[in-house]
Amino acid sequence: MAHDNPGINYLAMDISPDVLGDARRNIVRAYGGEEVRNILLTRGDIEHIRDFLAPEDRVERIYISFCNPWSARPKHVKRRLPHPRQLMQYRDFLVDGGEIWFKTDDDTLFRESLDYFAACGFEAVHISHDLHDEGFSPNYVSEHELKFTAQGVPIKLGIFRKLPEAPDIDPVRWLRPAKTVRDLENAPD
């Protein structure tokens, strides 16, 4: 993506140095000897993104690719990268009208994230429950995406736009509505 868009600066962040090492090797391969001028690889915990980015950074788009679903225990869902605890932090440096492109293989995470984005003042501009089947383009396939696609798992994509009006919620104590229409529709028979 960065190689195809030399006029855009990318900040790539992961908490794991091993993953950043893999990313570095992929970047070197993609640039094929050209100087890399538009990517900064940074090790960091996105739960503390405010330590890295401030409102004056003016980020135009955020990609969340295959974050951990944290679905096994309810008390862990707050660690999800699209959880309101994190989404309300992204609002600080994401410009009004800026977008979050969220991809996952996980149905529960995807479904529950639709509520997170709505609660945090984002409108859905594109929702796909199988982006490969839809032929969405351009799509840059990540390592996890490759693995799950090979297993036949549909990849979900949501594109959400930041609305200027900040919602009045407490992101730490926010609780997802216990039963939404979507839950009822998706409940097992």
Q: Which residues bind ligand SAM (CB under 6 A)?
A: 13-16, 19, 45-47, 65-68, 142-145
Closer residue to ligand SAM (CB): 46 or 127: 46
Instruction: Name every residue whose Cβ is closer than 8 Å to that of residue 85 and which is 6 or more positions away in sequence.
Output: 47, 78, 171, 172, 174
Report the candidate in 134, 62, 68 with the shortest Cα–Cα distance to residue 91: 62
Helix (H), strand (E) counts: the chain:
6, 6
Identity of the residue, 46 or 95, whose beta carbon is nearer to ligand SAM in the bound complex? 46
CB nearest ligand SAM: which residue? 142
Q: Shortest Cβ distance from residue 6 to ligand SAM (Å)?
A: 22
Tokens, residue 98: 């800026």
Cα(103)–Cα(105) distance, integer angstroms: 7
User: Least distance from C-beta 18 to ligand SAM, angstroms?
Assistant: 8
Taking the complex as a whole, the smallest distance from the CB of residue 7 to ligand SAM amounts, in Å, to 24
The rounded distance, in Å, linking the Cα atoms of 166 and 161 is 13
> Residue 45 CB, nearest distance to ligand SAM (Å)?
5
Nearer to ligand SAM, 64 or 119 (CB): 64
